[in-house]
Amino acid sequence: MLQNDQLLSAQIDDLASTMKSFTDTDTLARFLRDLCTRGELEAMAQRWAVAQLVDQGVPYLEIAKRTGASTTTVTRVAQWVRRGEGGYRAALDGSRS
């Protein structure tokens, strides 16, 4: 039997694989709308906007003002951009291509 962490990891891997399988953004967006609550989608979109601005070197207070995120959220996202698992970095680098 899988432990909770192993089960969650397997579920995350399955979700990531499913998301990777979409070939167009419209279908992926429809999947995300079905999968997530509006609040969850808004939070993810806000964090992505914060990550992009952090990467551009925009000051934290300005990021908070532009995105509506709290300075705590901006700081947390910035920490993950700089010292996270590399997901933000890969996405940021990939979005420039």
Domains of the chain, by residue range, sit at: 1-35, 37-97
pLDDT at 2: 58
Query: Has domain 37-97 been given CATH number 1.10.1380.10?
Result: no
Is residue 4's pLDDT more than 80? no
pLDDT at 95: 81
Q: Once rounded to an integer, what is the mean pLDDT over residues 21-30?
A: 96
Is residue 1's pLDDT more than 60? no
Residue 27, C-beta contacts closer than 8 angstroms, at least 6 positions apart: none
Q: How confident is the model at residue 97 (pLDDT cuts 50, 70, 90)?
A: low
Q: Once rounded to an integer, what is the mean pLDDT over residues 21-46?
A: 97
- Give this prediction's pTM: 0.86
Q: Once rounded to an integer, what is the mean pLDDT over residues 16-45?
A: 96
Q: Once rounded to an integer, what is the mean pLDDT over residues 43-66?
A: 98
Q: What percent of the chain shows pLDDT beyond 90? A: 85
Please tell me the distance from the alpha carbon of residue 32 to that of residue 69, in angstroms, as a whole number: 21
